[in-house]
A and B are shown apart, each in its own frame.
Chain A
Amino acid sequence: MINLTIDGKKIQVEEGTTILQAAENLDIKIPTLCFHPLLEPYGACRVCVVEVTLNKKTNIVTSCNTKVKEDMDIQTASERALKARKLNIEMLMAQAPAAEPVQEIAKELGIEKTRFEITDTEEKCILCGLCVRACEEVVGASAISFVERGAKREVSTPFGEESEACIGCTACAFFCPTGAITSEDLHGRKVIHEELGLGPSTAIRIPIRQAVPMVPFIDEESCIHFKTGKCKLCEKVCEKEAINHEAEDTEIEVEVGSVIIASGFKSFDAKRIPAYGYGRYRNIITALEFERMVNASSPTGGDILMANGEEPKAVGIVHCVGSRDENYNEYCSRVCCMYSLKFAHLLKEKTEANIYDFYIDMRCFGKGYEEFYHRILAEGAKFIRGRVAEITDLALTEKEEGKLIIRSEDTLLGVVRRIPVDMVILATGLEPGVDQKDIANKFNISCSQDGFFLERHPKLAPASTFSDGIFLAGACQSPKDIPDTVAQAGAAAAEALALADKGTFELEPVTAEIDEDLCAGCQICLGLCPFTAISYNEEKTICEINDALCKGCGTCVSACPSGASQQKHFRDNQIFAEIEGLFIE
């Protein structure tokens, strides 16, 4: 431990402490500009100068990078130190008049005006080097550095050209104390993203406010550490030491008796309909994006805003995007009409906008749904019956200038209409999930023609599959809304519980079996079995049937060329005997 005196107060600090840190322990504030606790001290701005007496020698030193020594006597605001500090601030006021932190310190020090010549009144950069050091020390990219020397010194990329070394992390802007480097042009706050994110997100985030469990995660795609191997600032500041960059995904194996598949759906990709302009026009968004935006925890704080940050004055809602369309999906997605009505309601509630709903026909089939439709009609949303042909920004009249124009036939009026709006919400339909086929293969269940999982019986067993112990719940089986999903999930859970309670399940008595002596090992049956119940025994060079999996469909029996595969209780000779018995009379 080292004993020293700061402004007359005695203090004991650990070896290796800087004067600045020691002063902080005593609540003595020394102004700094080029210092940042997460970066190595640089000692360039010379604003943190203090007067130090040691061994009867008095010197002016920078407190940010001078380590304490035994018996140091430090004056943080001696006349000499203050004079140097004030003059340095005064010079920075002339060099970067628009730098706010400089003005703040100047105010504290009682400097009103600089006596030196101001060359650029807009200048903000004080050449503190925080950005350069952040890029090198933290990010490890070293994409920017100082160029030129003396008064011509400035921060730049090599040769002032766009640098490949820059990974676009905006750490430089984050560390910049004066706003000389901004990231606005990179990520405006209210940019509406093509993805569901709606605007910039950090590498460490909680996916959404409703996430379970509600803990942040590190997004490897955006995390600087996974790009350059450096940074790890979060590890440094996390007091609980809860961050581990080395953690990897782990696979967990669980043994279960039954499985409920609730793998959900995928939203229709609106880019597949080029005429609707999604991805080309920033103010055309999908239903899920709108849902994210109106959420109170969204980047806009729940406000409904366009890409330029303004509230829309007219909004179009296009129904049946990707549904009920021979070109995409023939089926009705069942939920779009109702959520579109909800959107119309929210828009009415939160904005003054005119709302246009373009529908084929309204499908309000549930309890209270039709009433809700009438309520929205009463609220003043305009409903236009007809499929939207195109959304464009090509204005034909002055009124359409700067707007998105929805062109659609109004089948009730029998005319083609052009409605100019500020924002369009596409009511995208529901499609089978991205890994639907993988899941089907894994669990050996079938899909219907539309790609959703096939239930055992549409009326009598809507939550079961053809495999015992595997049940379905929700939109993976067919598009459905929340009440239907909850009902189906309850049914699936009950069936699974019933099975668990019984502890056993009944095997099909009528299964196939293979006669070892007759099987030639041709493996024709292997590929035909729909339940993968047949396996090939390489040692015995014959095929074998797993009784627990076999459903007794008889496919293998009819296909077996040597007659080795026989259906129990329905063997050939049994059937022939029965036929013979019929003719005995």
Chain B
Amino acid sequence: MTEKNKDKTFRIHLMVCAGTACVSNGSFEIKEALEKEIKKYDLKEEVLVVTTGCNGFCERGPLLVVQPGNIFYQQLKLKDIPHLVEEHFLKGRPVEKLMYSPPEEKTPIPILSDIDFFKKQVLIALQNRGLIDPEKIDEYIARDGYRALAKALTEMTPEEIIKEIKESGLRGRGGGGFPTGLKWEFVRNATSPNGGEKYIICNGDEGDPGAFMDRSILEADPHCVIEGMLIGAKAVGASQGFLYVRDEYPLAISRLNIALEQAREYGLLGKDIFGSGFDFDIKVTRGAGAFVCGEETALLASVEGKLGEPRPRPPYPAESGLWGKPTCINNVETWANICRIINRGGKWFSSIGTETSKGTKVFSLVGKINNTGLVEVPMGITLREIIEDIGGGIPGGKEFKAVQTGGPSGGCIPKEKIDLPIDYESLSEVGSIMGSGGMVVMDEDTCMVDVAKFFLTFTQDESCGKCTPCREGTKAMQQILTRITEGKGKEEDLSLLEDLAKSIKDSALCGLGQTAPNPVLTTIRYFRDEYEAHIQEKKCPAHVCRELNTYTIDEDICLNKGHGCDLCRKNCSADAILGEKKQAHKIIQDKCIKCGVCYDVCNFGAVKVD
């Protein structure tokens, strides 16, 4: 709200999503168009356009939520705006064709909370998403912002804060799942050398392919992270904090800097906060793009300005972290939970979730799924609920095959385990990890050997190269997987892969190396037959591995249905297709480079792949 609008009330608030996905789909243009139309109808005093952080339903962007009423518009285009403004905001008739209707149904669902995608979600870390303008501290404060800080600073002792967090059962959301309260206690009890200070770090170096939980929180609700860090600082006795955010998140960095500036202006950061005598400030440190810097010891080295590579633990950062001082490192999502726990109590938080994993977890649901987006679900929810109910199932009526959790450090969970309740322990039992919350859904068209190769290529590229098993081991595994997908796999490759994977897990220096074999181990465990098909029969069952495919043309279909349309021959870059118009076509196998273009262009399904 601008100063002018501060005390004004409006009839309608239009919440335009300004998360990265919607922004790249043109939400800022939509906002401008909305304002233009509103001006046209002279509704400026009645309708206010607000930009919010990520709404979560990224698949359907750009998004607009109309308040009051919670009416949800999606996939907006510039040309829809004049009609929408006139119909809905002037005449009061919501526009049905811009509303969301589930894939197989035709009836639109007007209200956001009635949509399956939102229905099963429980919002704690994301509770302000889509509701506030992240660049306005007043809106955050209006939603109980900084109340928890006031409570922590003026009513609670550090011990009480730690007790509350311990009682909540909150565990690290960055992947490790270490109990947060216990970590804080370690830092609190650690003595800093020479009576020096202690540090708080927020790890926002989110690097898993397909994961964007931290980015969304930082973009949508930066103040809740800052508030969490402030409370953490009071609990462990720190006076300086660092927000380590990867430089690939420019929007998050700019919103964080705005938020920090505003917090300083309001006296919520700096000296003598709330007159309690407590000093704390936060500095944003930008990561330079190395995945390994998400590992806490490498992150520390990076903040110190050194080469971002891990060092052995112990000593843990809680004992000897940044510049050798006790340091409390938590992930963005963990920090986002803190103020809510302080506000509503640890007991409330622990009432959500399973025996060992409390609260909720934010997942970024991506891959072969209808509703791509960011979801926050209670621990213990089954994979089926996430994929089928929230995610809306697999597009194109394909069959669900597996889901990959935990990014490159995680594993693939097959469809047999779809009723698995999700928590830290259950995921680790099936060979995967919670990780930071990436969830990549795969359908029947996915080759699991190719998936393993993809993740190994990623870790191989991102390995810092310090220790032998990670540097050389991931390279070796990637080479073996590559040769398997190229049809050059040997009988002994499977056992060599397994040996390698186990030894790398055992002897790598840091978490990156120790978990890098997970995608290989789980795919071998659940999809051994696919590996064997690649190695023994030289076939890729999902037809993904090009070198193993054979393309043929069903002459009957080509001639009778397509009448020899000649499209395949025209598109073949290798001149491997023989034939003329109105004749059956044929592929010369010796010339075929297996690019698959003929298969893609054939409108009659005459090209077969085997």
Residues of A within 8 A of B (CB): 43-47, 49, 60, 62, 65-66, 80, 83-85, 87-88, 91-92, 94-95, 115-117, 127, 129, 145-146, 148-153
Contacts and interface: CB of A to CB of B under 8 A. Distances in A.
Given A84-B503, A127-B465, A150-B465, A145 B471 contact: no
B465 A94 contact: no
Contact of A150 (B311, B471, B503): B471
Interface string B467-478: 111011111100
Nearest to B460: A150
B465 A87 contact: no
15 contacts: A44-B467, A44-B509, A46-B508, A60-B507, A83-B503, A84-B503, A87-B503, A87-B507, A88-B469, A94-B476, A95-B468, A129-B466, A149-B464, A150-B463, A150-B475
A6 to B, nearest CB: 19
A116 B479 contact: yes
Given A85-B507, A87-B469, 4 more contacts: A83-B502, A95-B471, A115-B496, A150-B465
A146 B307 contact: yes
Q: Shortest 9 CB-CB distances between A and B: which pairs?
A: A153-B465, A91-B472, A84-B507, A60-B506, A150-B463, A87-B503, A84-B503, A46-B507, A43-B312
Contacts of A151: 460, 463, 465, 471-472, 475
Interface of B: 290, 292, 307, 309, 311-312, 460-469, 471-476, 479, 496, 499-500, 502-503, 506-509
Given A115-B496, A145-B307, A150-B462, A49 B467 contact: no
Contacts of A65: 312
B315 to A, nearest CB: 10
Given A116-B479, A153-B465, A127 B499 contact: no
Nearest to B473: A91
A95 B506 contact: no
A94 B506 contact: no
A88 B468 contact: yes
Contacts of A95: 468, 471-472
A557 B307 CA distance: 82
B290 A91 contact: no
B467 A153 contact: no
A95 B467 CA distance: 13
A394 to B, nearest CB: 53
A175 B475 CA distance: 27
A46 B479 contact: no
A91 B468 contact: yes
A65 B474 CA distance: 23
Task: Count chain A CB atoms within 10 A of each CB in B465, B499, B500 and give the residue with the most.
Answer: B465
B466 to A, nearest CB: 5
B494 to A, nearest CB: 13
Classify the interface of chain A: helix, strand, loop or mixed. Answer: mixed
Contact of A44 (B468, B475, B506): B468
Contacts of B468: 44-47, 88, 91-92, 95
A78 B499 CA distance: 16
Nearest to B470: A150
A150 B461 contact: yes
Contact of B503 (A45, A88, A94, A146): A88
Task: Count chain A CB atoms within 10 A of each CB in B311, B461, B474, B507 and give the residue with the most.
Answer: B507
Contacts of B475: 150-151
Contacts of B473: 87, 91
Contact of A91 (B462, B469, B506): B469
A65 B468 CA distance: 16
Nearest to A132: B307
Contacts of B466: 44, 127, 129, 146, 153
A60 to B, nearest CB: 4
A95 to B, nearest CB: 5
Task: Count chain B CB atoms within 10 A of each CB in A60, A83, A91 and give the residue with the most.
Answer: A91
Contacts of B496: 115
B467 A46 contact: yes
Contacts of A44: 466-468, 509
A148 B500 CA distance: 24
Contacts of A115: 496
A62 B503 contact: no
Contacts of B465: 127, 146, 148-153
A125 to B, nearest CB: 12
Contacts of B509: 43-44, 46, 62
A127 B460 CA distance: 16
A80 B506 contact: yes
Contacts of A146: 307, 309, 465-466
Nearest to B476: A116
Nearest to A89: B468
A152 B290 CA distance: 14
Contacts of B309: 146
B467 A43 contact: yes
Nearest to A91: B472
B508 A153 contact: no
Contact of B463 (A66, A87, A92, A149): A149
A87 B471 contact: no
Contacts of B472: 88, 91-92, 94-95, 116, 151
Contacts of B474: 150
Contacts of B307: 145-146
A366 to B, nearest CB: 70
B457 to A, nearest CB: 11
Nearest to A41: B312
Contacts of B507: 46, 49, 60, 62, 84-85, 87-88
B506 A49 contact: yes
B506 A62 contact: no
A115 B461 CA distance: 22
Contacts of A91: 468-469, 472-473, 476
A47 B466 CA distance: 13
Contacts of B502: 83
Contacts of B479: 116-117
Contacts of A148: 465
A151 B478 CA distance: 12
B469 A83 contact: no
Contacts of B312: 43, 62, 65-66
Contacts of B461: 150
A44 to B, nearest CB: 5
A43 B25 CA distance: 47
A20 to B, nearest CB: 13
Nearest to A92: B468
Contacts of A127: 465-466, 471
A560 to B, nearest CB: 75
A183 to B, nearest CB: 25
Nearest to A33: B468
A134 B114 CA distance: 65
A145 B509 CA distance: 19
Task: Count chain B CB atoms within 10 A of each CB in A46, A129, A152 and give the residue with the most.
Answer: A46
Nearest to B464: A149
A60 B474 CA distance: 19
Contacts of A88: 468-469, 472, 503, 507
B94 to A, nearest CB: 53
A94 B58 CA distance: 46
A149 to B, nearest CB: 5
Contacts of A66: 312
A543 B144 CA distance: 99
Contacts of A92: 468, 472
A325 to B, nearest CB: 62
Contacts of B471: 95, 127, 150-151, 153
Contacts of B462: 149-150
B189 to A, nearest CB: 19
A66 B311 CA distance: 12
B481 to A, nearest CB: 13
B396 to A, nearest CB: 37
Contacts of B506: 49, 60, 80, 83-84
A84 B312 CA distance: 17
B131 to A, nearest CB: 41
